[in-house]
Amino acid sequence: MRKFYQNAKLRLPLFVMVFAIVTGVMSCKKNDDGNYPEQPQLTLEGNKSILVKPNTPIVANLKFDAPGPDTKLLINKNNGPYRSIALDKNATSYTFNEDMVSTTAKEGDSVVYQFFLTNGANVKKSEGADLVVNVAIYNEITVGSTKVYNVTIPADGILSTGEITLAANRKYHISSSIQFSENTKFTVNRGAEVYMNAAATDKVNLTFDPGAEVSVNGTASAPVVMTSDKVLLGTTAASSDWGIFNIKGEGNGSNSGNVNYLRLEYAGNRAFRLQDVGKGTKIDYVQVYKSGEEGVMATNGDVNISHVITTECKGAGFRLGDAYSGKIQYAIALTKTQTGELDEISIRETATPIISNLTIIGPGETGSNTHGIRLRATSAAKIYNSIVAFYPRRGVRLNENVVTSGLNGPTVFAHSYVFKVSSDPYRDDRSGATNPFQGSFSDGVASNPFSNNVIYSATGARSFDEIAGIAVGVYVPTAVKTSTFNPRTLDPFFQDGAFVGAVESAAKDWTKAWTRNADGQIRN
């Protein structure tokens, strides 16, 4: 008896182990007795990403193996537990429609649902099936053959409260002007394409009143584009197909938001308009392509601008006026087409901008009435490390009341290159004055106090050093043209830029991938 008891003690753990293994195997395998499958299979039918309007049910059709008894459908929402639904043991499908998009959801919002099967006995889940629900609040229309979202125009065209948001990588249509009042907001996310109604009775404008906020969030690989809807209609888009993008700020130092990687195409006069915008506003990477008149116009305020390019704008590239006192670095104005009289950059009234690393390229040395930089009225600009090239006349022009008095004076053009300007490369309209930026030659001695590219021979003959690679329609040099001046010493806004021109080299061409060449092709 004692021996039997001892043998039984030895056999009992073995029996328990075998029983546990058998029970576990039986519980994990689906058979005719209703046991569970090793890994339940769950499939989401249809699109895995859907567009839904606010206050609309979310519908997901699910297919799966017959789950057996005590099985549940587990649902996560945005990575958190949301719902558990008991399933019939013989069910092979389930339609989830127990949730709706919030009435307060915004354009571009998204919700991610994850679906799992759980077998109650062994608590083993299936692989998850994900559904991404994207919110689209606007109705779809077709322009040409392209589906776009038709932005709802507020009453009288004035957004008095709230915001308008345009989602990433979607196409939109704006049929008429929108004015954003104080405390409203306009957000446009990366890759959004906005098509303006070229057939509108009045040109479509986007105007932001003082106190409104702008947030344009493009990237180099996915810029925000605002253009003519003729692009979709198959007709030829042209300058002035729509109006302007106009930010009105609250004065020096104020913040109207941010604009990053924005391309404006076929807009009207003063396409990118900045009025009394403060330096709290961040503007970086903007192209104006084929505007009706001036591409960029800034008046009053002290907003700083970097990486900005105007291409084939009819009236001028830049106009800086009134009491504008901001700083600009890495700016390009490119005009290949002769369009009549213009100053590519006009600095007017009492404006006092500081500019570095500017390149302006004209249509060539032949023709007439196309000029480079014109400093007018009592303006006082300081310009460094810049290029003015390929104009018929008047590369840098000083009007009657402009004051110059050396490198530390109110008006400066220094460490810069003016070449391929056939007539009056340095023009001076002041009575009895000679433009000091071209240096001088007297009594056999050359003087070049502004360190520009003027060269005097031993006999006083004047010539101009050139930069290889710069040509009509081309603003990238063959090699880096270094400068002894670094604009970083001027103000913390400026980046290190001890080179001449807006683009240092082909390897550092910041206009690639997101801007258009003069012929309309995207730069690559």
Q: Is 122's pLDDT higher than 70?
A: no
Instruction: Tell me the C-alpha distance between 313 and 269, whole Å.
Output: 9
* Tens digits of residue pLDDT in 357-369: 999 999 999 877 7
Mean pLDDT of 301-321: 97
Predicted local confidence at residue 161, as pLDDT: 98
Bigger pLDDT: 371 or 497? 497
Q: Are 73 and 97 in contact (CB under 8 A)?
A: no
Query: Per the structure block, which two tokens stand in for 390?
Result: 């390929």
Looking at 2.60.40.10, 2.40.50.140, 2.40.70.10, 3.40.50.720, the CATH number of the domain 42-135 comes to 2.60.40.10
- The residue-averaged pLDDT of 336-343 equals 80
Q: Provide CB contacts within 8 A for 87, sequence distance 6+.
A: 67, 71, 72, 73, 94, 117
Average pLDDT over residues 45-58: 94
For range 79-83, the mean pLDDT: 93
**Nearest Cα to Cα of residue 331 among 436, 159, 487:** 487
Q: Which residue type does 464 have? A: F
Read off the pLDDT band of 65 (50, 70, 90). Answer: confident
Rounded to an integer, the average pLDDT of 31-53 is 76
Is residue 441 over pLDDT 70?
yes
CA distance readout (Å), 208 to 137, 213, 215, 250, 519 = 22, 7, 11, 11, 31
Confidence of residue 197 (pLDDT cuts 50, 70, 90): very high
> Rounded to an integer, what distance in angstroms lies between the CA atom of residue 128 and that of residue 130?
6
The pTM (predicted TM-score) of the whole model is 0.89
Tell me what the mean pLDDT of segment 417-446 comes to: 95
AA identity, residue 191: G
Q: Are 237 and 228 in contact (CB under 8 A)?
A: yes
- Give pLDDT, residue 15: 41
pLDDT in the model for residue 39 = 64
Rounded CA-CA distance 368/345 in Å is: 16
DSSP secondary structure, 230-242, as one string: HHHHTSPP-TTSS
3-class DSSP state of 505: coil
What was the pLDDT predicted at 121? 55
pLDDT tens-digit readout, 210-232: 999 999 999 999 999 999 999 99
Confidence at residue 25, expressed as pLDDT on a 0 to 100 scale: 42
- As a whole number of angstroms, the distance between CA 256 and CA 278 comes to 7
